[in-house]
Amino acid sequence: MEKRVTFKGIWLPLLLVLPQILITAIFFFYPAGQAIWQSLFIPDPFGLSMQWVGLGNFEYLLSDRYYRASFVTTAIFSILVTVVSMGVALYLAILADRLIKGSGTYRTLLIWPYAVAPAVAGVLWLFMFNTRVGVVTWYLGLLGYDWNHVLNEGEAMGLVVVASAWGRISYNFLFFLAGLQAIPRSVIEAAAIDGAHFWTRFRTIVWPLLSPTTFFLLVVNIIYAFFETFGVIHTITSGGPQQATTILVYKVYSDGFVGQDLGSSAAQSVILLVIVSLLTVIQFKYIERRVHY
Amino acid sequence: MAEQTGMVEKRGAGLWLTHLGLIIGVAFIFFPIWLAFVASTVSQPEIVRPPMPLLPGDQFFENYSKALTAGINAPVALMLGNSLFMALGIAIGKIAISLLSAFAIVYFKFPGKKLFFWLIFLTLMLPVEVRIVPTYEVIANFGMLNSYQGLILPLIASATATFLFRQFFMTVPDELAEAARVDGAGPMRFFFDILLPMSRTNIAALFVILFIYGWNQYLWPLLITTDPSMNTIVMGIKQMFPSGDDIADWPVIMATSILAMIPPVIVVVGMQKLFIRGLVESEK
Amino acid sequence: MATLTLKNVKKSFGKTDVIHGVSIDVEDGEFIVIVGPSGCGKSTLLRMVAGLETITDGEVQIGGRRVNEEEPMARDIAMVFQNYALYPHMSVFDNMAYGLKIAKVEKSEIADRVAQAAKLLQLEPYLQRKPRELSGGQRQRVAMGRAIVRKPAVFLFDEPLSNLDAKLRVQMRLEIRALQRELGVTALYVTHDQVEAMTMADRMIVMNGGVADQIGKPLEVYANPATEFVAGFIGSPPTNFMTGALMGATSDTKLGVRPEHMRLSETGKLSARTTYCEALGAETLVHLSCADGTQVTVRQDAGAPFPEVGAQVGLDWDVANEMRFDAAGRRV
């Protein structure tokens, strides 16, 4: 699509796009290119020169037990975060949608966690489940359960999943509520008159009509779990215990900055780049379909 | 008939069950925040002897003033200032460069327009986390470690906002630009007098989203601000935990967490309509 | 106030020609209507005069001065758009004053001119309102006001009434014409509505497929259409066309007779079957179908008797009222 009228001039528009070109070139394209370039080298032990290894870094990574484990961890983590946060959000959105009055008040209260940074969310949940002072830990102890996410891998995973999902509920809630409110009342009333009870109505009418929203949220939440949960993991578990919560993004950070293994970290970046591109393509495909809908 | 409508719009007991369900949900959402608030108003001994109280104590002013003025590594007031500067810089900077380039893309024909368009399209795909190591090197080479430019510039380098403004400008009727031309307005005059005022709500909605995005950044400030006086509040909280087995100063840490939430919560709740609109539209 | 001259003006987009060369000399204070169906190039022609489209070939002169390369502002024109193109965030006053502000006219002078225009257009109570708080007719007036305050040499109107309802349209038609006479400004007015063209124009340009089929005074054009297209487009109901074959001739000329020039009779030049009668009060339209399926309409005075639907009747007319067109649609 093009505007019918355009202003004349060549230098003015170039001047207008210049700031964006400069900033994206320096802080986006150059680093992204560097990541790809560096992934083809390994530094010598003294860090003085780089040695060309071609796809060696990738071969090494894919055969590395820890890296493959991190892949599995990321998959489990993303699926759990997505399912938990979308499930809770959908439940709350269905309830709020049933209200004629007062759903605005609940909405105002439920959007709070969106404003809470993942790292801060991590601190809040860490505090509740802290092995020494945590309130929840203490009450669990009363019930005879000895909570210790510092040592127990499953509990560590559970905690970072809940803390990450918690911060995401607002976002999913808003989209689900908007999706539900977009379903025409008359359709639901027609089904009610046909004698369909709540659960039948939900299964046969609401859920299919909501599926575009659900699919969209699925993709967006997976991207969120992949990249934006770094703060949660860094504050709560630092990837432990025994790398049980080291997701891919965390590993890029710990290998690159803590371990100083630039070649491997760059190769990991490139792999992430491929994954996120695939997810984005899926997302755009979906948006395109929705436009033609 | 009454029963039929009753199935769609709950009344009586059903209505109360709906409210109850929502209240439980809200309680679950708020419990961590409430607990943090309580912890920020009691003394350290009350916390380290579990269970800690579930109602606020009387140490509010002590804890908050200690956090704001002294903190643990740096005064929280300073970190709040840094966060504010960073969030505003990201929001305003990104909106400014995006408005200009979207204007150029929509209202001009110039060589390289197609190429430019596809280049910025590519930037939509890659979060900063993916290119973090080389970006760090660029900032280090420019000597921008521990600086506001270093905090802000790399996070501006994506084109989401450019796309949004482009979409909006496309919906502005052609005749407005023509009328402005007949009225004798040049391109920049049209931009400032007509296009900008018409984009007000879009700009505001995007501002909310970008402010939150900037404020909540964690990994990037963690990497490039080694000087405590440049720490942002969101990353500074983690720095407050002692290494090793020492016991953390929970009341001050929790006061800091609450302080870290307040500005973005005010923005989100206060500008709720714009925020929701911005959110839903920016993802379309 | 000025003359406007188009000299063989042409426009093409790439290889597609959309205007094939239009020439006209518009006198000072004249009201010219460009009329034609959608896609005939009438708006493009207007926009070329405005400076919103480049001129591929030929010349546009305003007040005897070539303006082909000039910006709209420098051409001393003002334009009223179909959707009014009011600036939504500005008050009525600011909408009208915007062009003057850019031209750096004195503040007091701006206030005077806007007040004058507002008075003329009965917009005085609305000066502080935003466009969205006005009715369609009021918006239309603001768009006019914006043109008036500039005191341009030429007014350009691009289908300014097509967004109004029928009743308002009739009223605004008269107002625009009265206003233009009072101000004495040369005007170029684009419409697809032949009634607007007939009632408003001093002279009209009938456009068809990028060509000016005919330029002339409305009644002259009506009485003496230059082409088959003009005969069919101007006048409602349209001219009846009958092929040579139907008339028993072998040539491929077509015969055109206006509905008011046809009459029903026992015998006649043609025989046809009545399909429908519309009694409109002052007149009655009788629709008929000829042997080869050609549809014909006859306009009768209200008092005249009209036939039953399905009745076979004769059609007659005076030879003096016949219009003949060749295969290419030209008048012969």
| Euclidean distance between CA atoms B248 and A235, whole angstroms | 13
Size of interface A-B (CB pairs under 8 A): 309
Partner A contacted by B100 (CB < 8 A): yes
Residue of A nearest to B250 (CA): A127
C20 pLDDT exceeds 50? yes
- The answer to whether A117 contacts B215, with C-beta atoms less than 8 Å apart, is yes
Tens of pLDDT, residue by residue, chain B (284 residues): 333 344 455 556 778 888 898 999 999 889 999 999 999 999 888 888 877 888 888 888 888 988 888 777 788 899 999 999 999 999 999 999 999 999 999 999 888 888 887 877 777 666 666 678 888 888 999 999 999 999 999 888 877 788 889 888 988 998 999 999 999 898 999 999 999 999 988 898 889 889 999 999 998 999 899 888 899 999 988 888 887 667 788 899 999 999 999 999 999 888 888 877 777 665 54
pLDDT tens digits, C147-157: 999 889 999 99
First to last CA, chain C: 39
∠ CA A175-A176-A182, nearest 5°, is: 90
B57 SS3 class: coil
Task: Report residue A45's pLDDT band, with 50, 70 and 90 as the boundaries.
Answer: low
A240 class by beta-carbon count within 10 Å (0-12 exposed, 13-18 middle, 19+ buried): middle
- Topology of C4-231 in CATH? Rossmann fold (3.40.50)
Q: What is the DSSP string of chain A?
A: ---S--B--SHHHHHHHHHHHHHHIIIIIHHHHHHHHHTTEEE-TTSS-EEE-TTHHHHHHHH-HHHHHHHHHHHHHHHHHHHHHHHHHHHHHHHHHH-SSSHHHHHHHHTHHHHS-HHHHHHHHHHHH-TTT-HHHHHHHHTT----TTT-HHHHHHHHHHHHHHHHHHHHHHHHHHHHHTS-HHHHHHHHHTT--HHHHIIIIIHHHHHHHHHHHHHHHHHHHHHTTHHHHHHHTTT-STTTT--HHHHHHIIIIIS--HHHHHHHHHHHHHHHHHHHHHHHHHHHHHHH-
The whole-angstrom distance between A249's CA and the closest CA on chain B is 7
Hey, which bits of chain C come out as E strands?
A: 4-13, 16-26, 31-35, 57-62, 65-66, 77-80, 154-158, 186-191, 203-208, 211-216, 240-243, 254-257, 262-265, 270-279, 283-290, 295-301, 312-317, 323-325
Residue B63 in contact with residue B40, Cβ under 8 Å? yes
Closest Cβ–Cβ partner in A19, A123, A253 for B257: A123
Return the pLDDT at B5. Answer: 42
* Residue ranges covered by each domain of chain B: 76-234+260-282
Higher pLDDT, C327 or C287: C287
Least confident of A236-240, B102-106, C29-33: A236-240
Residue A64: beta bridge partners? none
Q: How far is the alpha carbon of B19 from chain A, nearest alpha carbon, in Å? A: 8
Residue C1 pLDDT > 80: no
Domain segments of chain C as ranges: 4-231, 239-325
| A233/chain B closest Cα distance in angstroms | 11
Residue A25 lies in a domain: no
B157 → closest Cβ in A23, A127, A280: A23
Q: How far apart are CA A275 and CA B1, in angstroms?
A: 53
Side by side, the strands of the sheet bearing C323-325 are: C240-243, C254-257, C323-325
Please report, as a single letter, which amino acid is at residue C274. T
**ipTM of the complex, rounded to two decimals:** 0.87
- Sheet with C186-191, strands from edge to edge, namely C77-80, C154-158, C186-191, C31-35, C203-208, C211-216
In a domain, A16, yes or no: no
Query: Is the pTM higher than 0.80?
Result: yes
The reported pLDDT for the residue numbered C42 is: 93
Q: Does the residue A248 lie in any domain?
A: yes
Mean pLDDT of C31-54: 93
Instruction: Give the sheet arrangement for strand C270-279, strand by strand.
Output: C262-265, C312-317, C270-279, C283-290, C295-301
Q: How far is B198 from chain C (nearest CA, A)?
A: 6
Chain B to chain C Cβ contacts (< 8 Å): 59
CATH architecture assignment, domain B76-234+260-282 = Orthogonal Bundle (1.10)
Residue B56, preceding peptide bond in cis (omega within 30° of 0): no
Position A31 scores a pLDDT of 86
Per-residue pLDDT tens for C78-105? 999 998 999 999 999 999 999 999 999 9
pLDDT tens digit string along C241-285?
988 777 777 677 889 999 999 988 888 888 899 999 998 888 999
Q: Is residue A71 part of a domain?
A: yes
Give which of B19, B129, B277 to mutate to test A binding, by max A Cβ within 10 Å.
Answer: B129
CA C19 to chain centre: 17
* pLDDT score, position B84: 95
- The backbone region for A242, taken as left when phi is positive above 0, alpha when psi lies in -120 to 50, beta otherwise, is left
Query: Computed over its alpha carbons, how large is the radius of gyration of chain C?
Result: 24
Whether residue B75 has a cis bond before it, omega within 30° of 0? no
The pLDDT, as a whole number, for residue A286 is 66
Does A95 fall in a domain? yes
Structural domains of chain A, count:
1
Touching check for B173 and chain A: CB below 8 Å? Answer: no
Q: What CATH number is attached to the domain comprising A117?
A: 1.10.3720.10
Q: Do B133 and A256 touch (CB under 8 A)?
A: yes
Question: Which residue of B133, B139, B225, B276 to mutate against A (max A Cβ within 10 Å)?
Answer: B133
Is C239-325 CATH 2.30.30.60? no
Q: What is the pLDDT at residue B272?
A: 84
The residue among A192 and B168 whose pLDDT is bigger is B168
The answer to whether residue A277 sits within a structural domain is yes
With contact defined as 3+ CB pairs under 8 Å, the chains touching C are: B
The boundaries of the domain holding residue A225 are 58-292
* Residue B11 contacts A, CB cutoff 8 Å: no
What's residue B284's pLDDT?
45
Counting every residue written for chain C, the total comes to 332
What's the farthest any 2 CA atoms get from each other in chain B?
77
Residue B33 CB contacts under 8 Å (≥ 6 apart), including other chains: A112, A116, A124, B258, B261
Task: Find the residue in B nearest to A261 (Cα).
Answer: B133
Q: Does residue B110 belong to the interface with chain A, where contact is any CB pair within 8 Å?
A: yes
- Quickly list H helices, chain B: 2-8, 12-39, 44-48, 60-69, 76-107, 113-123, 132-141, 148-156, 160-171, 174-182, 187-190, 196-198, 200-215, 219-224, 233-239, 250-270, 272-282
Q: Which of B264, B237, B249 is nearest to B62 (CA)?
A: B249
Measured CB to CB, residues of chain C less than 8 Å from chain B are 50-52, 71-73, 77-79, 81-89, 98-99, 102-103, 146
